[in-house]
Amino acid sequence: MKLNLDQLKDINSKSLDLHQVELDILSQKLDKKGINAEDIIKDITELQVATPSWALGTGATRFGRFPGGGEPATLEEKIGDVGILKQLCGQTSSISLHIPWDVPDNAEDVKDLAASYGLRFDSMNSNTFMDDPRGLNTPKGLSYKYGSMCNSEEAIREQSIQHNIDVIEYGKRLGSDSLTVWLADGSNYPGQANFRRQFENVQNSLREIYKAMPEDWYMFTEHKPYEPNFYSTVNNDWGSNLLLAKGTGERCLCLVDLGHHLPNTNIEQVVSRVIMEKRLAGFHFNDSKYSDDDLTVGSLKPYQLFLIFNELVEYMKGDDKQANELAWMIDASHNTKDPMEDLLQSFDAIALAYGQALSIPRATLTEAQMNNDVAGGQEIIQDAYRTDVRPLVREARMRQGAAFSPLQAYRELGVRKELINQRGTRVAVTGL
Ligand code: PSV
Ligand code: MN
Ligand code: MN
């Protein structure tokens, strides 16, 4: 399904009068701080965030699932949904696949289909946290119940290495250039496993996978302190992640998933440290109140998101660069919302936090910091956070032919209804 751009324009036209007034006032306000609104609009336009294939279907908890209908069942349909998101918000132009959930039957055809929507393939995600019922991630038929790369059995470690190599092969054919490795590996009870032995097994396995990567590929390792193992995980925090990355190779980088930190962790400081070591892969954006990644980006801790972007903007506008482009992705799944609506809200929240961080007068902030002006520094940061940059985000979208309000346009155009008409109310199990 492709949207009718004229209809989108008509919907936008209803909001244009007031929008122009708001945009002018904001531009003048920013100008007073020495900030050019046009520059921010350009930067927002360029920030493209990947859509994960597994966020397009309704998520679940272990207590149940409440799918809404019209969900994509095939990789082709998932690509179609990302195409719609791109038309609506202009902020996503790639899709990230999870193998074995998204094994392409014919990678070349799938690549062409994506290109017809203006999409490419972002990082490839391997999956050794479950045994695929079809055996697609267990080439030797062995279970990952007690871990994959950390496993005490060599054959299981070899199997998980092989699975990752298979994922690289799919990715090569699709035109991806990175592999994301998230491991569920760890233990559920004290005494179950030896921390050091597990870590060394994972480290050695990652080195084997790294050797199989093309020379222009990156490997991203993703840390997580709990779940599905609840006593210990091998890659538990950014420190372990950095150790693994450094022990693996130059092109192994640390991915930061916002839902994978213990309560009250200063994530923006983690980001700063990892950047300092030139090992930041990028992000899995989401939000959470208690744990993991199941709430919409920016829905609970928008100030934290803004502070993270503050660190990122400092890096992006600075001279001391890493060799890699940062990888931006959403990683969330929702039990009670239309997944497409949730993604549109997420893209919006990311653009807003980025726009706010771009509106910080950096030289003035540095001056306040150098003069130990504590309240002054805080004021500068808070002033940027309290600036309503929505007119800039809307302008960035409309200049690309996308929607003034993507969520409103999605509803007015009856997209979900149309998808249900086409696909029915079937339940598409896309992953977790
Ligand atoms: C694990 O919680 C995670 O964040 C990893 O990125 C997985 O690939 C993703 O969720 C999907 O389950
Ligand atoms: Mn993640
Ligand atoms: Mn997660």
Residues with Cβ within 8 Å of 419's Cβ and at least 6 positions away in sequence, in order, are: 1, 69, 70, 71, 81
Note whether 171 and 124 are within 8 A (CB). yes
Residue 174 has pLDDT above 50, yes or no: yes
Phi and psi at residue 234, in whole multiples of 5°? Answer: -70, -50
Three-class HEC string of 199-229: HHHHHHHHHHHHHHCCCCCEEEEECCCCCCC
Segment among 332-336, 368-372, 377-381 with least mean pLDDT:
332-336
pTM: 0.97
The whole-number average pLDDT for the span 69-87 is: 96
Q: Is 284 in the pocket of ligand 1 (CB under 6 A)?
A: yes
Percent of the chain at pLDDT exceeding 70:
98
d(CA 129, CA 182): 8
Say how many C-beta atoms besides its own lie within 10 A of residue 378's C-beta: 11
Mean pLDDT value of segment 364-377: 98
Q: Is the CB of 294 under 6 A from ligand 1?
A: no
- Give yes or no for residue 294 having a pLDDT over 80: no
Q: How confident is the model at residue 428 (pLDDT cuts 50, 70, 90)?
A: low
Q: What integer pLDDT is reported at residue 64 of this predicted model?
A: 85
Question: Going by CATH, does the domain composed of 5-423 fall within 3.20.20.150?
Answer: yes
Q: Assess whether pLDDT exceeds 60 at residue 430.
A: no
Q: Where are the domains of the chain?
A: 5-423
**What is the structure's pLDDT at 427?**
65
Decide whether any atom of ligand 1 lies within 6 Å of the 81 Cβ.
no
Beta strands in 338-409 (DSSP E): none
Atom of ligand 1 nearest to the CA of 431: 12
Asked if residue 78 has its Cβ within 6 Å of ligand 1, the reply is: no
* Alpha-carbon span 31 to 186, nearest angstrom: 52
What band does 188 get if pLDDT is binned at 50, 70 and 90? very high
Q: Give the closest residue (by CA) to ligand 1 atom 10.
A: 331
Task: Note the pLDDT tens digit of each residue in 128-166.
Answer: 999 999 999 999 999 999 999 999 999 999 999 999 999
Candidate from 52-61, 288-297, 344-353 with smallest mean pLDDT? 288-297
d(CA 209, CA 252): 11
Pairing of strands 186-187, 232-233: antiparallel
Ligand nearest to the CA of 182: 1
Residue 431: per-residue pLDDT? 53
Please provide the average confidence, as pLDDT, over all residues in the chain: 96
Q: What is the CB neighbour count within 10 angstroms for residue 196? A: 8
**Residue among 102, 293, 330, 430 to mutate when testing ligand 1 (max atoms within 8 A of CB):** 293
Handedness of CA 78, 81, 87, 88 (dihedral sign): negative
pLDDT of residue 432: 47
Rounded Cα gap, residues 103 and 317, in angstroms: 38
- Give 53's pLDDT tier (boundaries 50, 70, 90): very high
Give nearest CA residue, ligand 1 atom 5: 182
Q: Provide the H-helix boundaries in 218-338.
A: 238-248, 267-276, 302-316
pLDDT at 394: 98
Q: Which of 132, 222, 329 to mutate to test the pocket of ligand 1 (most atoms within 8 A of CB)?
A: 222
